[in-house]
Structure 1
Amino acid sequence: MTAPDLSLRPAAPHLWQLRAMVALAGFAWGMTGPLTKLAISTGHNAIGISFWSTLFAAGILSGVLLLRGQRLPLGGRHIRLYLSAGLLGTALPNALSFTAYGHLPIGIMVMLLSLLPMVTLLMAWPLGLERPTPRRLAGIVLGMLGVALIVLPGTSLPDPAQAIWILAPLIVAISYSGESIVIAWADIRDMGPTATLCGMSWGALSLITPVMLITGTGFDITAFGAPELAVMGLALLNLVAYAGYIWLIGHAGPVFASQTGYVVTGTGVLLGMIFFGERHSIWVWGALCLIVVGVTMVQPKQDDP
């Protein structure tokens, strides 16, 4: 089996356009951290937050398709993509990350989520989408050492008991990487980023809704307080980030697209310090340095993907 053509359109974008999209998607995702922290800290459940943010996204995207006169493809392979990518890219990571934000500082969360390129690379190798090199292997080792600096020292986290929650963002990174691989291997040239994201949103919603109803974790979004407005902001920011991310995967591959983690990390750490007064130990800053260097080594050497 050979890897599919990942291009979404015949004319390849310039490198500056790819990097601009990395910055835009990463900044939008980095801003979701403080909004999630706000919504979670007021008592809203992760499943309920995920339901409303996904519903808003699905509704907005459906409206965009309607205005364009487009229909959402509903073939068998499309529905399989919507469900699998919706599970790996929204339903599962949202539930885990929203919950973890209630237990971990924003800065720690975004640092761990920045391991996404490394996890993506490990999953892409067996599928022939990426190529292993000694430099990239060394980068993965540095990333693992960075995680160890966060978990092992007793003073790296505000509360050592929080260490168990480190697993959540790591699983989220694995889930996002799986989604990247699914999208990279799927033939979405007949859909485009908007339709793909719309289908994924409805696919995720079909999985989240039964869980919310069974667990009774819904809440009244029409209260329009700060937490509810934060959830709406999450939906909009995720739309911007996800549309850009899917576009990047299609034009430059899953590992290049995962460079958004750099911007997410910087934005999240900075906003956590500004709005939530987060301060990190020397161990955490050392971990951040190792992770950033490691992610840099994992990226392909070519400037133009």
Structure 2
Amino acid sequence: MRQLWDSAAALLIVTGGLLGMIFPLGKIATGAGVSAVVWSFVISFGVGTILILVQIVRRDFPQLDRHKLRYFAIAGAISYAIPNIIVFAAIPHLGAGFTAIMLTLSPVITLTLSLLIGLRRPSPLGIAGIAVGFVGAVIVAATRGELGQPAALGWVALGLLIPVALAIGNIYRTIDWPAHAGPIELAIGSHYAAAVILLLVGLVPAANFDLAPLADLPLAVVAQAASSAGMFVFFFRLQAVGGPVYLSQIGYVAAAVGLVSGTLFLGERYALLTWAGAATVGIGVVMTTKAQSRES
């Protein structure tokens, strides 16, 4: 277990695999009439509650301060509330697998933002990786979702905002990580902050904050809360061990889970061009990863 906790590669696989579960479970939930805001709330409230129970058992009660409260609010909004709403709103239109592919752009966008704000120095390989990833994104976007069911361009554009929000979150959490704060503590605070934000969004009538459909999905609710809680324990540890660019690669692992589960279990079908675009993005991710390792 200690080797897993200290290995960036192992943490990446575990975290990405658990993250990928949100796509098939999200499609099942939205297909049953659960709104994007409600399912996002299920994740954040479920994660916060499960993890705080773990902390109570461990008798670990951290002290709060203004820095942590600010961190919780900002990280909760840009890392969880906003991208999750977009994900679950887009899945019925784009498909679970196609929406998952959007996550693969997170490493490229994270590196781009890191270069722009001076967090990292540009390298030829890193810039080339960004370019290749961008080409892959254009190819994927051009296919517009499932085979024979092209989504409106507006939904494709909305899907492309998912990796942008995640990349901003990756950068923010790195540069504003509170001193002496543990990963579980940060996961609890950020997700409860996201849950509060989602409750406020739910006050808007158009958000359709109806909890009744959840009664028909008890197993999906439990599975989603448990997998997300487990994922975020490893997520924050990976943030500390691997850094923001390496962390952002969980999207590639999650995309693989989303594509495979969508194809095998949810009956989704994608054009060869979609798979080619996803592979091109993957090549860009490998290039940016190699650039990071060389710089390190």
The TM-score, its normalising length taken from structure 2, stands at 0.90
Which of 94, 100, 103 is the matching residue for 1:104? 94
Q: Structure 1: how far apart are the matches of 2:185 and 2:6?
A: 25
1:74 CA drift (Å): 2.1
CA contact (8 A) 2:12 2:250 kept: yes
1:177 CA drift (Å): 1.2
Question: How many aligned positions are there?
Answer: 292
Residue of structure 1 equivalent to 2:56? 66
Name the SS of the counterpart of 1:125 in structure 2: helix
Residue of structure 2 equivalent to 1:7? none
CA contact (8 A) 2:13 2:250 kept: yes
Which of 212, 216, 230 is the matching residue for 2:202? 212
CA contact (8 A) 2:86 2:159 kept: yes
CA contact (8 A) 2:82 2:165 kept: yes
What are the residue-to-residue correspondences of 1:36-51 with 2, within 5 Å? 36-51=26-41
1:220 CA drift (Å): 3.0
Q: Structure 2: how far apart are the matches of 1:23 and 1:204?
A: 25
Q: Structure 2: how far apart are the matches of 1:222 and 1:294?
A: 39
Deviation per CA, 1:40-90: give whole Å up to 9, x if none: 011111111112222111111111222222224321110100000000111
Q: Structure 1: how far apart are the matches of 2:8 and 2:53?
A: 27
Which of 162, 174, 195 is the matching residue for 2:164? 174
Which of 214, 223, 241 is the matching residue for 1:233? 223
1:269/1:294 Cα in 2 relative to 1: closer, same or farther (>3 Å)? Answer: same
Q: Structure 2: how far apart are the matches of 1:222 and 1:176?
A: 27
Structure with the bigger percentage of helix: 2
1:229 CA drift (Å): 2.6
| Aligned residue type for 2:170 | S
1:128 CA drift (Å): 3.1
What are the residue-to-residue correspondences of 1:1-305 with 2, within 5 Å? 17-152=7-142, 157-215=147-205, 216-220=208-212, 223=215, 225=216, 227-301=217-291, 302=293
Worse-matched range after superposition: 94-103 or 181-190: 181-190
1:214 CA drift (Å): 3.3
| Aligned residue type for 1:248 | L
Calculate the aligned-residue CA RMSD, in Å.
2.4
| Aligned residue type for 1:115 | L
1:121/1:154 Cα in 2 relative to 1: closer, same or farther (>3 Å)? Answer: closer
CA contact (8 A) 1:96 1:169 kept: yes
Q: Which runs of 5+ in 1 are unaligned?
A: 1-11
Deviation per CA, 1:85-127: give whole Å up to 9, x if none: 0001111011110111111122211112111101111111233
Deviation per CA, 1:184-215: give whole Å up to 9, x if none: 11243422110000010111112111211333
Worse-matched range after superposition: 29-38 or 124-133: 124-133
Q: Which runs of 5+ in 2 are unaligned?
A: none
Deviation per CA, 1:101-160: give whole Å up to 9, x if none: 111122211112111101111111233332211222122122222222233358975333
The TM-score, its normalising length taken from structure 1, stands at 0.88
Q: Structure 2: how far apart are the matches of 1:188 and 1:154?
A: 40
